[in-house]
Structure 1
Amino acid sequence: MGDIRVGIGGWTFEPWRGTFYPADLRQKDELAYACQHLTTIEINGTYYRSQSPKTFAGWADTAPDGFVFAVKASRYCTNRKVLGEAGESVDKFVKQGIAELGAKLGPILWQFAPTKAFDAEDMGAFLALLPTSVDGVPLRHALEVRHESFRDPIFIDLAKNAGVAIVLADHETYPLIDAATTDFTYARLMRSVEEQPTGYTPDEINHWVDRAKEWATKGDVFAYFISGAKVRAPAAAQALIGKLGGV
């Protein structure tokens, strides 16, 4: 059985103060608090800009043993016409200091724009650029695609042959590709609504509990409540964690 980790995207969001974080909590203590109440966090800031090795090391020191960070890859790697030309950007991204996370480094998320259509040759060239380790730290990769053209058996075969995961996206318009292509599952759950205290209804939370347990029979599971009614993301994650037996 794999480990099931559940969390949110990022940890800095003003509406979480008083709803997730205690109102009097110092902002510099938010990450430590989030790490105590969740089991993983998807770092989103790395999508927009590089971070220093010292910053990654600080995040690792803040999180308890067993906690894992997913890291969202730079937009300069994925937001381009020709993916096969991203080698320099991919190299810069993986060598910026993510190895400082050590055992707390989870999958790298490579997110593609909704306008990016599937091109088998170009995607194959991009996958060939993804390293299996950096500074002795193993790397795992997950692809989030947002164009309907990726509903293609060839794409699934490419991912399987490369040993990368295809993100299962629970979203109104993005394609939901439910395919096991490697030894872990990466899910991004994006349909939370503010009217529900836990973002998803109890029945919906139970559905994801069942799916997570099913995925765990094949390997580790990383599930993130992202977007939708973002203010509800921590409550949704905690509800799912609670159903799975707690932090």
Structure 2
Amino acid sequence: MKLKNCLYLGVWDNIADEHYIAKHLCKYLNVEKKSIYALDFKNNYDIILTAIPAKKPPGFWSMFKGYKIAHYFDLVINTPRERQYIPSLSKFNLVFSPENVRYPGVNHAYLQQGFEPSVLFPVRVSKNRDVGFLGRIYSDERKQIVNQVKADVGLGLRGKDFSKFVNSHKINLCLSAPVKLPGYWSARVYQILGCGGFVIHYWEEGLEDEFEDGKHLVTYCGIEDLKEKIDFYLKHDYSRQKISVQGYERVFNFTWERRVEQLWNAISKLV
């Protein structure tokens, strides 16, 4: 059986990664993007794809005849989302997420996040700031770390503004997630490297499968280790610049085009 068409249900705001996934998925089949809040749905699609499976009750997904595929990039296992997501996910033929763990009663596949080179890329600005952090300060631990290393905080930045922030800082910091799971880390590691930035990232299990510590980025374990490495790389421009160049070259293995190729290969095995 050849898969010919896909109904892609989402919210479709301006910043959704679904736009990039849909763009590259069109290489393989026809993709119709539709709001998950729409009231009329045809039932003649080979694939029904969504990144927000919990927005609808399990019975909604049961009505579709085609292969039901979910992908998302939030933490679920060992979080309050687990109770919310699993009932709907059990109705799907295949579920992708960046958590390299088993899902109870779900056909789960590991798929990491990516970046879109047409949107995030290096820009020329003066690198006149030391340490930057892009993201929300949603915990006391994050607040403490950001304050101790005197990092500038960028919130809600997209596209060129994101890249300007990255390229104006000598070091870009990625902090750990509140729940530690193998394979789960910040999507910003791909986005920052795609902008040509230098990344110091909290060590997470599995990160070494994609990036080599000291070659493509730098990892740290604990606040004292972080402060020592920040101090070292602020004083050693050549080492820092070499790692950022190698990281930029490496991250092109993890564009959304490459991730969608992985996604499509897994979907094709269902047929």
Which structure has the higher relative contact order (CA within 8 Å, separation 6+)? 1
Report which of the two structures shows the higher radius of gyration computed on alpha carbons: 2
Q: TM-score range by the shorter chain?
A: 0.3 to 0.5
Normalising by structure 2, we get a TM-score of 0.30
TM-score by length of 1: 0.32
